[in-house]
Structure 1
Amino acid sequence: MTEKIDKEPADTPPRASLAPETIKAIPVRHYGRYVSAVIVLALVALLVNAFATAEKIQWSAVGDKLFDSTVLAGAGRTLLISILAMIVGVVLGVLLAVMRLSKNPVTSWVAWAYIWFFRGTPVYVQLLLWFNLALIFPMLNLGPIYKDEMTDVMTPFMCALLGLGLNEAAYMAEICRAGLMAVDEGQTEAAHALGMSHGKTLRRIVIPQAMRVIVPPTGNEFINMLKTSSLVYAVTYNELLRATSTIGSTSYAVMEMLFVASIWYLVMTSVFSVFQYYLERRFARGSSRSLPPTPWQKIRVNLMAFSRERSV
């Protein structure tokens, strides 16, 4: 028997030439993005040109007063009152959140009433209440511990600290409560099974896990605190806005000094926004989700995508 050998015809092309060609993907052109980008840039350019060519704005005064000693002192007081008020708000907020989640109806009701009052009244009204507290209580009498006139106790700094700190505590209480409730109850049960007390379980198990939920809104609250601190102008605390307004009223450069205040507010909020990003990234370690890219990272990605489209 002879084996049958199949032979390819002489006119058959080699098998290598039958391989499919490499697909060349051509990205879709998004002309609408280019048109909208041009329109937005044109509007921004018109706005910048309108302010730059305004005859009644003395931009040289903005540069001269930007690092004025009075302005720098005001910015320092704004930063100081914001940090101290935020510390009061965070500490008291954690305490209120624990009270709110307590099974004791008295502590839970008191925490709820505190949150209800301070979230339901404007910060400006609360500042004025503290500032005019001497109209109701002329003397602060704590017995043998402390006794003084209320006008000497409620200084502008103390009014600003209490007004901002106690109001912030109401919001931080809800943020902390949401973070504590986000931790699975099994964690608490496991800690109790190991013999941990309720307080130790809260400190060592629950709060560290809740920080991933608490940190992002807390950073937003602090940035908001930097701007809300301008309301203490009403209680004569000499922070950034009051310092710049005083210079503007004496030098007749009202708008210029408002620009100076805006620049310093933008600088402070931008610095703490960067700090917030890295703090969130630290507490997000081990999470399956990554943080969204920053605006600068988005710009870099968009530029790289645009360059690829142009190269094609």
Structure 2
Amino acid sequence: MSEPAGAAVSLAEAPAPADTPSKPLSAQPVQPLRRPGRWIVTAAVLVLVAQILHGLVTNPFYQWDRFRYWFLRPTVLDGLLVTLEVAALSAVLGLLGGILLALARLSGSPVLRAVSWTYTWLFRSVPLIVVLIFLYNFSALYKTLSLGVPFGPAFVTFDESRLATDMTIAVIGLSLNEAAYAAEVVRGGILSVDQGQHEAAAALGLPRGYQFRRIVFPQALRSITPNYVNQLIGLIKSTSLVFYVSLLDLFGTVQSMGSTYPGDVVPLLMVATVWYLILTSAVSVVQFYVERYYARGATRTLPPTPLQKARAVLAGLRARLSREAAV
């Protein structure tokens, strides 16, 4: 059957479609997917943030001139040093106590397990302010403390009122409370380590103490670090309660100055707020680098540092500008 005249056209002579790209696909730049909803939400959030910042800066109620006056005053800095001292000592003692309680909870001794569970249950159930006030009035229950034979004669006797200073009461109260929470954090981290690691270490005949220090605990720190840093941030904020045991920390100093200068209550509270933000932000930065350190060997690529992120953004901008200039 013959084709109509003029109907047969070779493929070579066929005209190319109008939308056929002039460049091969491998040479064409990848166009990102358009997301208008994301841009709308981003713009709305930026407008909201700008309004909040504008209100903070322009509202005369905050009295930013008084804020600048109080921010670096020696009285405020002395209270800040007390907060740092109490938080540092309580964090160290609380973590050590938490490790001991976690090991006791995981031990084979039923007595140690029962004591650890009871301690954790008790101090997680009682509010911290109650613990501090109870310790503050401890001398009313026990006027003297002694060392000697149990249920027998005492060799050395101490006056409790002289030993229990305001700083000591604050550190002991916060440490006792922190140890109960740290125990569960440490226990969860130890349980997160693969059981095969324990079995391999035991098969090599390593001592149990060496197994814990060099094999189990370093791996558990990947899980312990973010959870305990969360506890540490809560501890820094909990130091504001030591004001109720007559210790002038940062919050206690602000409260005292607010009573003396009632017109500066708001700027003084803003001073305390900013200092607490600085302290918790510093702890978060340390947390990032500690997590990054212990992530070695567990992830294929370590999370980039802020400086590495900034370099990557600048490199991306340069590459984009060079592509646009080439086009």
Structure 2 vs 1, CA of residues 213 and 231 (structure 1 numbering), >3 Å: closer, same or farther? same
TM-score by length of 1: 0.84
1:110 aligns with 2:115: yes
Seen in structure 2, the aligned counterparts of structure 1 residues 120 and 295 have a Cα distance that, compared at 3 Å, is: farther
Residue 162 of structure 2 corresponds to: 152
Greater CA deviation, 217-226 or 275-284? 217-226
For 1:55 and 1:268, locate their aligned partners in 2 and report how far apart those are by CA, in whole Å.
27
1:4 alignment counterpart: none
Q: Kindly provide the CA deviation profile for residues 82-128 of structure 1, in whole angstroms up to 9, marking residues without a partner as x.
A: 11001111111111111001111000010000010111111111111
Task: Specify the alignment match of 2:96 in structure 1.
Answer: 91
> Structure 1 residue aligned with 2:69, among 61, 64, 72?
64
Distance 1:225 1:147, change over 3 A: same
- Per the alignment, residue 261 of structure 1 pairs with 272
Mapped to 2, the partners of 1:302 and 1:139 lie a distance apart of 65
Structure 1 pair 47/300, CA: closer, same or farther in 2 (3 Å)? farther
How much does 1:28 deviate? 2.6
Tell me the TM-score normalised to structure 2 length. 0.81
Name the counterpart of 1:136: 141
Which amino acid in structure 2 is aligned with residue 250 of structure 1? T
- Give the AA of the match of 1:74: G
Contact 1:215 1:280 (8 Å CA) reproduced: yes
Asked whether the 8 Å contact 1:248–1:256 carries over to 2, the reply is no
Conserved in 1, the CA contact under 8 Å of 2:189 and 2:223?
yes
- Separation of aligned partners in 2, 1:301 and 1:18: 32
Q: CA deviation at 1:33?
A: 2.2
Write the letter of the residue equivalent to 2:199: E
Change (3 A) 1:293 1:203: closer
Change in Cα spacing, 1:250 to 1:190, as seen in structure 2 (3 Å) is same
Matched, 1:241 2:265: no
Equivalent pair of 2:185/2:227 in contact (CA under 8 Å) = yes
* Corresponding residue for residue 204 of structure 2: 194
After superposition, the C-alpha distances for 1:8-57 in whole angstroms (9 at most, x for unaligned) are: x99836xxx99984255432322222222222222223333333333343
- Separation in 1 of the partners of 2:53 and 2:123? 40
* Structure 2 SS opposite 1:147: strand
2:213 to 203, 218, 225: 203
Equivalent position to 1:75, from 60, 80, 83:
80
Aligned pair in 2 of structure 1 residues 295, 232: CA closer, same or farther (>3 Å)?
farther
Q: Give the drift of 1:289.
A: 5.9
User: Which residue matches 2:224?
Assistant: 214
The whole-number CA distance in structure 1 between the counterparts of 2:200 and 2:210 is 13
1:144 aligns to what SS in structure 2? strand
Aligned pairs for 1:27-42 (under 5 A) are 27-42=32-47
CA RMSD of aligned residues (A): 3.2
Mind listing any 5+ residue stretches in structure 1 that lack a counterpart? 1-8
Post-superposition CA distance 1:199-226 (Å, at most 9, x none): 2322232212222221221222212211
Aligned residues: 298
Q: Percent identity?
A: 40
